[in-house]
Amino acid sequence: MVGLPDGRTEFGSENRIEGGAGVRYVHSVTSAVLHSRLSTDRQWRAVLDRDRRYDGAFVYAVRSTGIYCRPSCPSRRPRRTQVNFFPIPEAAEAVGFRACRRCRPASVMTDPEVGMVRDLCRALAAQPDRRLDLSGLARLAGREPQRVARAFRRVLGVSPKQYQDALRVKRLKTELKGRRHVSPAIYEAGYSSSSRVYERAHAELGMTPAAYARGGAGMEIAYAIVPSPLGRLLVAATPRGVCHIALGDDPARLERGLRAEFSAATINREGHHAELTSWVRAVLRYLEGREPDLDLPTDVWATAFQRQVWNALRKIPYGETRTYSDIARAIGHPRAVRAVAQACATNPTALVVPCHRVVSKDGSPGGYRWGQERKRTLLALEAQSTDNQ
C-alpha cells in the first residue's frame, strides 16, 4: 500500500515495465484516483513531481508545443500558464493536441469504465461521418445506455452528444482551413445543411465559417496594454465585445500571446475602436476596487459546456467565492468537477468572467492562468472592498 500526497493510501499494485534502462516497477493507477476529484493544484504537483501514480488519471497538454503527456513524462516541465489538463488522451486529441512520442501517454491503462469511454471516443473519431445516439453507443460498448451516459459525464464531464458535437466542430475547422470553398467543408464535416452552421457560427467558431476558413482574416481586433495593480494588463476587443484579457510582466509576451491566438486577424494597438478605451478603464477601476460590477460584453468562442461554466462564473457575487464542485452542481453536472476546472483554466476573458472566484474545496486558491499570487491578490481586493462597504 502506497500513500498519496494527501495522506490517503489508495494504490496497491505494481506493473513491470521494461525499457532501455532495464526493468523497473511502478505503481499503477486505480479508479480511486479518478474518483478523487483531483484539483488542478494536485494535478500540477503530480506533473512537477513526475509522479507515476497519476499516470492514467489525467494527461497534461502544452499549448506552446501542441503536445500532451502523461504526468511522469521525463521532458522538461513547461510553464504553468501553458498547461491544460484533460481526463483522457482522446479529450486532448479532440481539441487538436497530439501525443508525446517520448512518454506515449495514450498507452496507459486505467479502470474499465475509462477504458470503455476511450474505446468509444476512438470509434467516433474513426468514423466522423457517423452520428451515434446513446443507444447506438451502448450497443457498440455492450453496455446499458444509462451506464454509457454516466461514464461519459464522470470521465469527460460532458454527454456523448456534446462530445460528438465537439468532434464535428473540430472537423469543420480542419476542413475550412484546408479548402477554398465553405460549402464542401460544411458537408464534409457532417452537417446536414449550411444554414444550421451559419445560425450557430458565432457560438461554435466565434466568427462566420468563411472568416474561419481564412484563419480569422477580416476580423478586426484592437488592443491596449496598460500598467495595473497586477502588472501589465492587455485588453483586446472586436466590435462585438472583449475577446481577450491577459495579465503579466512582459508587454511583448502579452502581445505575442494575442497574435498567436488570432493569427490571421487584423490586430492594431489601440486601433479605431470606440469602446475599447472605456472598457480598459472599467477593468482598471475594478482592479483598483472602484468597479465591483464589471459587466462588459464579450466576443469569445466556446463549447456549450464552457459557456455554461462561464455564465455561472459571472453570477458569483463580488467578494464571494465558490468551489469547483459548487459550479458543477450549479450547471447541473455535479460530477463534472474536473471539466469545470478545465473550463476555468481556458477562460479567455479573465476578470470579466471571474474565474478567480472559484477555489479548491480545501480552501486553497487553486490554479490560475495568470499566477496564483495574482489570484490571491484579487480575492483579497474583493474581500477588503466588501468589508469597507
Residue 267 forms part of a structural domain: yes
- Mind spelling out the 3-state secondary structure of the chain? CEECCCCCEEECCEEEEEECCEEEEEECCCHHHHCCCCCHHHHHHHHHHCCHHHECCEEEEECCCCEEECCCCCCCCCCHHHEEEECCHHHHHHCCCEECCCCCHHHCCCCHHHHHHHHHHHHHHHCCCCCCCHHHHHHHHCCCHHHHHHHHHHHHCCCHHHHHHHHHHHHHHHHHHHCCCHHHHHHHCCCCCHHHHHHCHHHHCCCCHHHHHCCCCCCEEEEEEEEECCEEEEEEEECCEEEEEEEECCHHHHHHHHHHHCCCCEEEECCCCCCHHHHHHHHHHHHCCCCCCCCCCECCCCCHHHHHHHHHHCCCCCCCCEEHHHHHHHCCCCCCHHHHHHHHHCCCEECCECHHHEECCCCCCCCCCCCHHHHHHHHHHHHHHHHHC
**In terms of domains, do 138 and 41 share one?**
no
User: What pLDDT does residue 349 have?
Assistant: 93
What is the domain count for the chain? 5
**In terms of domains, do 207 and 226 share one?**
no
Residue 260 forms part of a structural domain: yes
pLDDT > 90? residue 69: yes
**In terms of domains, do 189 and 245 share one?**
no
Considering 287, 316, 344, which residue would you say is the last residue of a domain?
A: 287
Residue 243 annotated to the active site: no
**In terms of domains, do 195 and 228 share one?**
no
> Which range (89-98, 306-315, 322-331) has the least confidence?
89-98
**In terms of domains, do 9 and 90 share one?**
yes
User: What pLDDT does residue 226 have?
Assistant: 95
Residue 224 forms part of a structural domain: yes
**In terms of domains, do 247 and 196 share one?**
no
Q: Which domain holds residue 133?
A: 112-157
Higher-scoring residue by pLDDT: 329, 220: 329
Residue 331 forms part of a structural domain: yes
- At residue 170 the predicted structure's pLDDT band, cuts being 50, 70 and 90, is low
Residue of 73, 103, 344, 355 with catalytic role: 355
User: What pLDDT does residue 294 have?
Assistant: 87
Residue 292 forms part of a structural domain: no
> Which range (200-209, 313-322, 323-332, 380-389) has the least confidence?
200-209
**In terms of domains, do 277 and 319 share one?**
no
CATH number at residue 53: 3.40.10.10
Mean pLDDT of 214-230: 79
**In terms of domains, do 169 and 189 share one?**
yes
pTM for this model (two decimals): 0.52
Mean pLDDT of the chain: 76
Considering 120, 141, 157, which residue would you say is the last residue of a domain?
A: 157
Residue 62 forms part of a structural domain: yes
Which of 89-93, 106-110, 127-131, 260-264 tops mean pLDDT?
Answer: 89-93
Residue 298 forms part of a structural domain: no
**In terms of domains, do 10 and 72 share one?**
yes
CATH number at residue 281: 3.30.160.70
CATH number at residue 382: 1.10.10.10
Residue 367 forms part of a structural domain: yes
Mean pLDDT of 320-327: 94
Percent of the chain surpassing pLDDT 70: 74
Residue 103 annotated to the active site: no
What are the pLDDT digits (tens) for 249-259? 999 999 998 98
**In terms of domains, do 9 and 76 share one?**
yes
What are the pLDDT digits (tens) for 73-124? 999 999 888 898 888 888 888 778 899 999 999 886 556 777 788 888 888 8
- At residue 190 the predicted structure's pLDDT band, cuts being 50, 70 and 90, is very low
User: What pLDDT does residue 217 have?
Assistant: 55
Residue of 69, 121, 243, 344 with catalytic role: 69
**In terms of domains, do 313 and 273 share one?**
no
**In terms of domains, do 319 and 370 share one?**
yes
User: What pLDDT does residue 389 have?
Assistant: 57
Stated length of the chain: 389
